[in-house]
Amino acid sequence: MLESTLSFCARRLGVSLALGGVLAMSECAGQWAYQPAERGFGVDLGGAMRYGPVDGYVQTPNGGAPGTTSNKRPTFNELGIDSFISPEASLDLHWRAHGLYADGDWVRLDGNSTLNSTLTSHGTTFPAGTSVRSRVQLDSYRVGYEYRLAWTNDGGSLLSFSPAAGIDLLNFDYRLHGEGGLAANRGYFVGSPQLGFGAEWLPPGRFSISGGLFSSLPEVSNLFALSAQVTGGYRLWGQGERGGRLFLGIGYDWLDYKDNQQVPNHVKADLGPMLLFGLHTRF
């Protein structure tokens, strides 16, 4: 029920943002002109909370040896994990059109359940009927460079696009404990090159729309991560691009890590559709 309600709300919010963008673009239609980059130094700070359903699994062998893990298990569902709430933060440093960005998402998934079938994980066998408690950490960090291109029109709107390139990092930690001292623990830190694209639209008034898409490069590393989001903002203070904005939006994160061992570590997680709520400040 929670997932279906959240999915319905996210779809409605997404449709509303899209319709709002179309309507506002039609109202502000006019001749667009390239806007040269502002002089000087700028700072963007952002913070948000994310909430949504999660699905996937954490296949964790011991040294890649056959028989040390169940295939594509344990799933988040059998660990009693079906949703998450997590903070995110971002920092952008700008000089004219050039920018350096860094952001992080801290995802901690805690669950308690009773196993319906026997599970083997990291070389430990948990018999069916075992009560287990678990924690899965899926923290991710992005750092990189972006270049901002902006246009204005005679209606007073500003539209900007920011292609980006950087690195995506995953800090994974997995802990499973059961009755009788049974335990499985594993952690690692991996990364992948990443390309991104951001867009922001600031029409006259207090409202705005922004979005972003970041993806690691397929086949370049063992980690594939894709993140997408779109938000609507409301300016609380400041003028134009400067000031503070509350924002509400939707997002999706997809994560798939699979190493090259005979029996691989394989972490797959789908987070979303998630609701985002936070504050963004631009100096």
For residue 92, what are the CA distances in angstroms to 143, 146, 162, 189, 216?
10, 9, 12, 24, 20
| Residue 3 confidence (pLDDT) | 45
The pTM assigned to this predicted structure is 0.86
Q: Residue 92: what pLDDT?
A: 96
Residue pointed to by tokens 């011991």: 62
pLDDT digits (tens, 9 = 90+) for 125-175: 999 999 999 999 999 999 999 999 999 998 889 999 999 999 999 999 999
Residue 202 pLDDT: 92
pLDDT number for residue 39: 66
The per-residue pLDDT for 265 is 97
Question: End-to-end distance of the chain based on CA atoms, in angstroms?
Answer: 42
Domains of the chain as residue ranges with CATH = 2-282 (2.40.128)
Neighbours of 56 (CB within 10 A): 21
Q: How confident is the model at residue 2 (pLDDT cuts 50, 70, 90)?
A: very low
Higher-pLDDT residue of 114 and 40 is 114
Whole-number Å distance between alpha carbons of 24 and 216: 32
Who has greater pLDDT, 23 or 216?
216
Q: Is the pLDDT of residue 1 over 50?
A: no
Residue 25 has pLDDT above 60, yes or no: no
Q: What is the rounded CA–CA span in Å between residue 7 and residue 5?
A: 5
pLDDT of residue 22: 44
**pLDDT single digits (tens) 184-228:** 999 999 999 999 999 999 999 999 999 999 999 878 899 999 999
- Can you tell me the distance from the alpha carbon of 100 to that of 109, in angstroms, rounded to the nearest whole number? 30
User: What pLDDT sits at residue 188?
Assistant: 96
Residue 96 pLDDT greater than 60, yes or no: yes
Give residue 155's pLDDT: 84
Is the pLDDT assigned to residue 93 strictly greater than 70?
A: yes
Q: In the chain, pLDDT over 90 holds for what percent of residues?
A: 80
Q: What is the pLDDT of residues 228-246, one digit of tens each?
A: 999 999 999 998 778 999 9
Indicate the average pLDDT of the chain.
90
| pLDDT for res 154 | 85
What is the reported pLDDT for 20?
A: 47
Give the phi and the psi of residue 11 in degrees, each rounded to 5. Answer: -65, -40
Task: Give φ, ψ of 21 to 5 degrees.
Answer: -65, -45
